[in-house]
Amino acid sequence: MHIHILQHADFEKPALIEKWAIQKGHKVSFTKLYEAFAIPFPTEFDLLIIMGAPINVYDDEMYPWLSDEKDFIYRSIQQGKKVLGICFGSQLIADALGSKVYANAHKEVGWFPLKKEDPGSHALLDLFPDKPMAFHWHGDTFDIPENCNHLFSSELTLNQGFVYQDRVFALQFHWEMDKDSMQEVLPHMEEPLEGEPHMQTKAELMNTAGFQSNADFIVRLMDYLEDL
């Protein structure tokens, strides 16, 4: 399988996803939008993965390449490709499918459990426990697009994930993170202010069993995508 990854920042890497792909013997290629003046989007691939970013979907004027990326994602979906969007990537998928992306009431940063929105409604949900843990790092949210299955929510964020046509998956959270990739992300995070219950300290982000569950859950997710 040829996996192509859209990466928006050098410190937001595919981490456990890339490790899985290498172990499986898949081909992995990248478009690194943070360093490209001319963007070489591929024409042939089997799975498109859209990574997170420290920017917003509606920042087109600040990042001129963003409109080209949105068009590429839209065309990939229309061409029947398998697509996985993570955090900012999930917001780009929501945008491509015609839904609104906007600021959430509060930032959500830390290890918090998810809730299956409709257990038994989709085969992917059967692969995970009732309240799977996940790492969250986002301030925006999205509406669920039409003709999509709502997959996950959390206490703070109603729309944490959805699937379109059983091949396009949008997940607002990060199951790809391991300890090494978290270490790269930490310098770009702010410590929470008093009274922000949905933001954990940097120390809390590193002292957690979440990395172990991430390593388990990402394999289940990627194996599912591989078999589609």
pLDDT tens figures, 3-34: 999 999 999 999 999 999 999 999 999 999 98
What is the spatial distance between Cα 168 and Cα 23, in angstroms, rounded to a whole number? Answer: 23
- 163 and 172 in contact (C-beta within 8 Å)? no
Model-level pTM? Answer: 0.96
Alpha helices in 132-209 (DSSP H): 179-185, 202-206
CA 197 to chain centre: 23
Based on its alpha-carbon atoms, the radius of gyration of the chain, rounded to whole angstroms, reads 16
Tokens (6 digits) for 107:
């930032």
Helices (H), the chain: 16-24, 65-78, 88-96, 179-185, 202-206, 210-227
| Residue range 84-140, pLDDT digits in tens | 999 999 999 999 999 999 999 999 999 999 999 988 889 999 999 999 999 999 999
pLDDT of 37 reads 63
Paired strand residues for 189 = none
**Domains in the chain: boundaries:** 2-227
The CATH architecture that domain 2-227 belongs to is: 3-Layer(aba) Sandwich (3.40)
Q: Taking a C-beta distance cutoff of 8 angstroms, is the pair 118, 82 a contact?
A: no
